Amino acid sequence: VTAAVSRVLAAHPGPFRCVHLTRTTMEEHRGEMARWLDILAAKGVQELVFVNRPLPIDLRLPATIFSCASLTRLHLGIWRLPDTAAVPRAARFPNLRDLGLYWNSMEDRDLDFMLERSPVLESLFILGFQSGLRLRLVNQSLRCIQLGFSFAEDIDLVDAPRLERLFQFAELTESPKMNNGRSTRKRSSVIKIGSAPKLRVLGYLKPGEQELAGNKENIVPSVQILGIEVQFGVRNTVKKVPGFLRCFPNLETLHVQSRPISEESTGKVSVKFWQEGGPIKC
């Protein structure tokens, strides 16, 4: 298979509109892998899906990937991303609009580097971030962020004037990385909304497990569609719900998801709790 791919890439005159390489374990073919990326960069690949399947998860992706300046869509899976500290500062993806990262091993600085070098990026999809994700977003082009099967420690929307959607699904409550054989300590994560005036869709938030921060009153007037995940058998979680809802005075659609709880129920709140809380402006 590897030899056939090499022949096809060498014979094609270019440019490549779309290339998917998703069913080859690359550990034994590191030399070919580097040559493939050289050819793709030289022949102007526009869309690239490159997955090291099935394993190992820590195989280093060659830094040549940053030479593919013609890319408009890039999806990478099951790699250790290049050490961006050694990548030339001039490296960039000037045409990249869609970036997907799946079950990759990377540091926060690697993600920051890729975002900084993608000035027209509109869509970011991260699946299976292998450590606590800390995303500090100062980006003038992103419109949609999707996070799945990841543990987001901190998400800080510092300046995201075009961001319309921030969507989390199957969010983990602790980092999948292990520390001396045990999972890292479970703690609340923080979503801070600084400047995101076009943010219309937000979810799924988890009252009790996530904290929301923003302006002085923590009001996010732009959000019209909100998803929250609430375990109604956990009393302290339910008591956080009114405070969350008060942050979104212009909601039009509210999605509420309640999964079965794994621990023993701590009791439901009474009707009196909702009545004494007063009205929630919406």
Domain containing residue 90: CATH number: 3.80.10
Angle separating helix axes 2-11 and 30-42, nearest 10 degrees: 20
3-class state of residue 32 by DSSP: helix
Contact between 180 and 202 (Cβ < 8 Å): no
Residue 7 lies in a domain: no
Contact between 282 and 249 (Cβ < 8 Å): yes
Residue 220: count other Cβ atoms within 10 Å of its Cβ.
22
CA–CA distance, 157 with 135 (Å, rounded to integer): 8
Contact between 216 and 195 (Cβ < 8 Å): no
Residue 200 lies in a domain: yes
Give the pLDDT confidence score for residue 215 in this predicted structure: 63
Residue 32 lies in a domain: no
Residue 18 lies in a domain: no
For every one of its 282 residues, what pLDDT tens digit does the chain have, with 9 covering 90 and above?
Answer: 888 999 999 999 999 999 999 887 788 888 888 899 999 999 999 999 999 887 677 789 988 899 999 999 999 999 998 888 888 888 899 999 999 999 988 888 888 999 999 999 999 999 987 667 888 999 999 999 999 988 778 899 999 999 999 999 877 655 555 344 444 445 578 899 999 999 999 999 988 888 888 766 778 999 999 999 998 888 888 888 988 899 999 999 999 998 877 666 777 788 888 888 788 888
Contact between 36 and 6 (Cβ < 8 Å): yes
Residue 137 lies in a domain: yes
Up-side HSE of residue 255: CA atoms within 13 Å toward CB? 16
Annotate 54-78 with DSSP letters as a single string. Answer: S--TTPBPPGGGGG-TT-SEEEEES
Domain range spanning residue 109?
Answer: 47-57+69-171+188-277
* Helix (H), strand (E) at residue 155: strand 152-159
Residue 210 lies in a domain: yes
Number of domains in the chain: 1
Give the pLDDT confidence score for residue 185 in this predicted structure: 43
Instruction: Return the closest-CA partner of residue 222 out of 145, 161, 280.
Output: 161
What is the DSSP secondary structure assignment for residue 217, as one 8-state letter? T
Annotate 223-278 with DSSP letters as a single string. Answer: --EEEEE--TT-HHHHTTHHHHHTT-TT-SEEEEE-PPPSS----PPPHHHHHHT-
Residue 39 lies in a domain: no
Which amino acid would we find at residue 260?
A: P
List the end-to-end C-alpha distance of the chain, in Å, as a whole number: 59
Residue 8 lies in a domain: no
